[in-house]
Chain A
Amino acid sequence: DVKVTQSSRYLVKRTGEKVFLECVQDMDHENMFWYRQDPGLGLRLIYFSYDVKMKEKGDIPEGYSVSREKKERFSLILESASTNQTSMYLCASSRPGESYNEQFFGPGTRLTVL
């Protein structure tokens, strides 16, 4: 069974802390994505990566960075967490080409920044 796993289901951090969210997929997918999900706003793309060491900004990259050193792992970094980054964070992966939009999602990490 294909799988996308995220390092934590729940995380509580303090304002100003550096936060790492990890995502691992076992499907050998080229594309990986980070979204945040907020009530009434749906999913908004933060960053995506179409290959190792490659990254592209999504709609809301400010305050975030990413790292993809290995094909199976895509990390989201909050350099200095702020309360407005309290949200559900979802990681996804997909194959390239026609399957680009057929994304497999992890269970999400609910981050609270105090």
Chain B
Amino acid sequence: LAKTTQPISMDSYEGQEVNITCSHNNIATNDYITWYQQFPSQGPRFIIQGYKTKVTNEVASLFIPADRKSSTLSLPRVSLSDTAVYYCLAMDSSYKLIFGSGTRLLVRP
């Protein structure tokens, strides 16, 4: 049975780089790993997705090792507005979507 595990919470300061890691075993070998951001009273918002190695877009980078048993979301130079809950999403070997339980990031001034 696939499972995704994330830290419950993280603290950081403005301007720092934040790395949030999600562990995921027994995921599908041919599907993307996806990360979302959620603010209070809103639905999650897509940030980035990748299949392997490294992906970068205008807001984040995603690192996925060759064994795909984990993924790390990297937020460069966070600001107060990055305070949110971050979720990883993967698909298990029977093609069921599995969300992590979320990491609450608090960015302090």
Contact = CB atoms under 8 A, between A and B. Distances in A.
Chain B's interface size range is 20 to 34
Chain A's interface size range is 20 to 34
A106 B43 contact: yes
A1 interface: no
Contacts, number: 51
A52 interface: no
Interface of B: 31-32, 34, 36, 41-46, 49, 87, 89, 91, 96-97, 99-102
Interface of A: 4, 33, 35, 40-45, 48, 58-59, 90, 92, 98, 100-108
22 contacts: A4-B43, A40-B101, A41-B101, A42-B87, A42-B99, A42-B100, A43-B99, A45-B97, A45-B99, A58-B96, A100-B32, A101-B31, A101-B34, A101-B49, A101-B97, A103-B36, A103-B46, A104-B46, A105-B43, A105-B44, A106-B43, A107-B43
